[in-house]
Amino acid sequence: MADLFGGAAPYYAKYRTRPPEPAIAHLAAAFGADSTVLDLGCGPGTLAIPPAGRVREVRPSLTTVTEVVTARRPPRSP
């Protein structure tokens, strides 16, 4: 299957609105300066980059929440 969104990230990063500063400040304060933040489905980092200087570490991941939930679900019986 072809990569349907290959090459789209630069446009997404350029035209997607940035999160409001008060929201980022609130989240960073709620997490705490010594926190590690996991951004599932990070894309070009729109939400991962702003708090990066306010917490210990931000770990971006292209894994989706659905993939994580599916991985944790027990296998179905045949």
pLDDT in tens, 12-70: 777 878 889 999 999 899 999 999 988 877 777 788 888 889 999 998 887 666 666 66
Give how many domains the chain has, as a whole number: 1
The residue among 5 and 27 whose pLDDT is bigger is 27
- Residue written as tokens 């072809």? 2
Reply yes or no on whether the pLDDT at 1 is more than 50.
no
58 part of a folded domain: yes
Range of the domain at 76: 32-78
42 part of a folded domain: yes
Whether this prediction's pTM lies above 0.85 is answered by no
Phi/psi of residue 41, nearest 5 degrees: 70, 45
Helix (H) or strand (E) holding 67: helix 65-72
24 part of a folded domain: no
Strand partners, 59: 38
68, 40 Cβ separation under 8 angstroms = yes
15 part of a folded domain: no
45 part of a folded domain: yes
60 part of a folded domain: yes
Strand partners, 40: 61
pLDDT tier at 4 (50, 70, 90 boundaries)? low
67 part of a folded domain: yes
| CB-CB neighbours of 13 under 10 Å | 13
69 part of a folded domain: yes
